[in-house]
Amino acid sequence: MTEIARGLEGIYVTETKLCRIDGQKGELVYSGYDIYELAEHSNFEEVCFLLWNGRLPTNEEYSHLVEQLRRERPISPLNNRLLHEMVGFVRPMRALEIAVTAIGALDRNSSDMSPDALQDQARRLTARMSTVIAAYHRIREGNEIVAPRDDLGHAANFLWMLRGSEPSELEARVMDVALILHAEHEMNASTFGAIVTASTQSDMYSAIATAIGTLKGPLHGGANDAVYKTLEAIGTEDKIPAYVDDLLARGERMMGIGHRIYKTTDPRAIILERLGEELAKVSPDAHYYHLSQMLRDYLAQKLEGKPLYPNVDFFSASVYKMLGIPNDLYTPIFAMSRIAGWTAHLMEQYANNRLVRPNALYEGAENRPYVPMSKRD
Ligand X SMILES: CC(C)(COP(=O)(O)OP(=O)(O)OC[C@H]1O[C@@H](n2cnc3c(N)ncnc32)[C@H](O)[C@@H]1OP(=O)(O)O)[C@@H](O)C(=O)NCCC(=O)NCCS
Which of 20, 94, 149, 253 lies at the binding interface for ligand X (CB under 6 A)? 253
- Interacting stretch for ligand X, rule CB under 6 A, among 12-20, 37-45, 122-130, 251-259? 251-259
Give the shortest CB-139-to-ligand X separation in angstroms: 29
Can you list the pairs that 230-234 forms with residues at least 24 positions away whose Cβ atoms lie under 8 Å? 230/254, 230/255, 230/256, 230/295, 231/288, 231/291, 231/292, 231/295, 231/317, 231/318, 234/291, 234/295
Q: Which strand (E) or helix (H) includes residue 226?
A: helix 223-234
Q: Report the distance separating Cα 338 and Cα 270, nearest Å.
A: 19
Of residues 94 and 260, the one with the C-beta less far from ligand X: 260
Site for ligand X in 275-314 (CB under 6 A): 308, 311-313
State the CB neighbour count (10 A cutoff) for residue 70. Answer: 19
Contact by Cβ (8 Å): 65, 49: yes
Residues designated catalytic: 220, 259, 313
User: Which member of 127, 198, 255, 335 binds ligand X (CB under 6 A)?
Assistant: 255
Q: How far is the CB of 21 from ligand X (least distance, A)?
A: 12
**Cβ 226 to ligand X shortest distance, Å:** 7
Angstrom distance (rounded) from CA 242 to CA 185 = 34
Closer by beta carbon to ligand X, 119 or else 264: 264
Residue choice 51, 134, 254, 344 for contact with ligand X (CB under 6 A):
254
Nearer residue to ligand X within complex by CB, 104 or 310: 310
Dihedral over Cα of 232, 212, 30, 356: its sign: positive
* Pick 32 or 307: Cβ nearer ligand X: 307
**Contact with ligand X (CB under 6 A) among 26, 104, 167, 256:** 256
CB of 367 to ligand X, least distance (A): 37
Written as one letter, the residue type at 377 is D
What mask of x and - would describe binding to ligand X in positions 205 to 224, judged by CB under 6 A?
--------------x---x-
Instruction: Tell whether residue 124 is a contact of ligand X (CB under 6 A).
Output: no
CA distances from 91 to 59, 73, 292, 323, 353 (A): 40, 22, 26, 21, 34
What is the closest distance, in whole angstroms, from the C-beta atom of residue 302 to ligand X in the complex? 9
Question: Of 261 and 286, which has the nearer Cβ to ligand X?
Answer: 261
Residues 176, 196: contact at Cβ < 8 Å?
no
Contact map string, positions 13 to 32, toward ligand X, x by CB under 6 A: --------------------
Dihedral pair phi/psi, residue 351, rounded to 5°: -75, -20
Cα dihedral value 344, 345, 350, 356, nearest 10: -170
Q: Which of 20, 84, 94, 260 binds ligand X (CB under 6 A)?
A: 260
In the chain, helix, strand, coil percent, each to 5? 60, 5, 35
Q: How far is the CB of 332 from ligand X (least distance, A)?
A: 16
Q: How far apart, in Å, are the Cα atoms of 256 and each of 20, 71, 230? A: 21, 36, 10
Helix, strand, or coil (residue 115): helix
Give the nearest distance from C-beta 157 to ligand X in angstroms: 27
Selected from 193, 258, 276, 332, the binder of ligand X by CB under 6 A is 258
Toward ligand X, which CB reaches closer, 43 or 292? 292
Per rule CB under 6 A, is residue 257 in the interface with ligand X?
A: yes
Residue sitting closest to ligand X (CB)? 258
CA angle 200, 55, 260 (to 5 degrees): 55
β-bridge partners, 223:
none
Site membership for ligand X, residue 259 (CB under 6 A): yes
Q: Which is nearer to ligand X, 258 or 267 (CB)?
A: 258
Considering the complex, state which of residue 84 and residue 220 has its C-beta at the smaller distance from ligand X.
220
How many residues lie near ligand X (CB under 6 A)?
Answer: 14
Q: In angstroms, what is the minimal distance from the CB of 76 to ligand X?
A: 33
Binding site for ligand X (CB under 6 A): 219, 223, 253-260, 308, 311-313
